[in-house]
Amino acid sequence: MWAVVGLGNPGLRYADTRHNIGYMLVKKAAKAWEIRLRKPKFSARTGEGRRAGERIVLALPETYMNESGQAVKALLVGMEIPTERLVVVFDDVDLPLGEIRVRREGGPGTHRGMASIARLIGTSFPRIRVGIGPVPENVDITDFVLEPFRKAEKKLLDGSLDRAMDALELVLDGRIDQAMNSYN
């Protein structure tokens, strides 16, 4: 079984913000794989289904971003999923909007949601970083990540979500090296 977790903040106030691009990708996957995301379970909205004949759980943490590790740990422990069968999707201000990066494992960088996960379960799991940057000069990073995408950015956003979805499919098929070579 695989678990795919999209990082973000719960609630309508944050639904279309840059920080919620992980949520956006998991919702895209749920639609593609016909998996219904339900009420919170393990501190996350979850949905279970099958993809390419294999069980999969999709999750949107109901904790706020900086406490994402609590939901991820509860999900892995509660569903008995090994860490290496987890894929986390999250925003990255250091990547331009439209770009993605796939990694087999690694540190959290400056991302507080990933730092929370690293503290509680370690860093040995695949992840997909989706670019939302750059942060404009004289704009606070917190304000930037919590603002919605502008209409002019919609085409780049859609393209990056499509590429991230393709990369996710490769990772789940056991072809992470191909995903890294194709999208990094």
Cis, bond preceding 134 (omega within 30 deg of 0): yes
In the annotation, is 19 catalytic? yes
Phi, psi for 91 (deg, rounded to 5): -80, 155
Catalytic residue among 5, 7, 8, 19: 19
Going by C-alpha positions, the residue among 76, 58, 48 that lies closest to residue 6 is 58
3-state secondary structure of 116: helix
Give the Cα-Cα-Cα angle 150, 151, 153 (nearest 5 degrees). Answer: 70
Q: What is the DSSP letter of 97?
A: T
Q: What is the DSSP letter of 123?
A: S
Inter-residue contact 44 to 71 (CB < 8 Å): yes
CA distances from 94 to 20, 133, 144 (A): 16, 6, 12
Residues marked as catalytic? 19
